[in-house]
Amino acid sequence: MTAPRILLFDSGMGGLTVASAVRQAEPGATLIYAADNAAFPYGAWDEPQLVKRIVAVIGKLIDETRPDLVVIACNTASTLALTALRERYTVPFVGTVPAIKPAAEQTKSGLIGVLATPGTVNREYTKTLIHTYAFHCKVFLHGAKRLAEIAEAKLKGQKVDPDELKHEIAPVFRKRDHKQTDVVVLGCTHYPLLLDEMRAVAPWPVTYIDPAPAIARRVSDLLRSAKMKDAQMNGAAAHGTVFLTSARGRGSESLAAYAAMGFAANEVLDLPV
């Protein structure tokens, strides 16, 4: 049987945190990464237009990479477009959603912070997760406008401004009735890239929940239960390739960052917005 081919998709570099977890769980798999950098960041998009964009881009990527499984390593894309993707394409999808359930199980104070993009915070899907799994907790949602961009800048070798970072995460550190936030959900795959810096500027220690390990376990479960294609792969993208939707992501800093995370080859699938 051929090695399973896994396509990991995000608007930018955040999904690399998920790719690392999947690589650890499935070291024999062929991993291909795709960043819709032409449309980054997704938070500024009108939702119906963004769904249309994601469905179209994924279709092109499936044609190019011929995956056995697609990981939508992006909270915004998952909460918005996962249903449409599953309706449109037959390949299995694994999504990324805010880890509200494990946060509710782990908190001792009952005060939970959720850091996410403004779009994810405002989406009905997120509110449903809270009502279903954390109804007994107080959840502080914060739509961080700059965290994803700060994370990408760090990957490209730029210094993180601790004051800016502290300002971005401060709203989820709250106190109430002699208790304080003790669990913070990282509701965007970019945010684990800043974990060390967050710990350094946070007003007190908390448990941070990174969804990547759970996503990797789900990938392994699906691969165990699925029948892999034994198709001809002549011309298909090789392991360790990153696809970009715009050549502007081909700067030396960006390519070095992808290479450092295991994606040294690159191709541009020109899909302008």
Cα gap 47→96, rounded to integer Å: 17
Q: Using alpha carbons, select from 249, 220, 270 the residue that is nearest to residue 94.
A: 220
Is 74 annotated in the active site? Answer: yes
From 188, 201, 216, 257, active-site residue: 188
Q: 41 preceded by cis ω (within 30°)?
A: yes
From 16, 38, 74, 80, active-site residue: 74
* Cβ(67)–Cβ(6) below 8 Å: yes
* Cβ(189)–Cβ(14) below 8 Å: yes
Identify residue 87 by its one-letter amino acid code.
Answer: E
Is 137 annotated in the active site? Answer: no
Identify residue 174 by its one-letter amino acid code.
Answer: R
Cα gap 55→190, rounded to integer Å: 21
Residues with active-site annotation: 74, 188
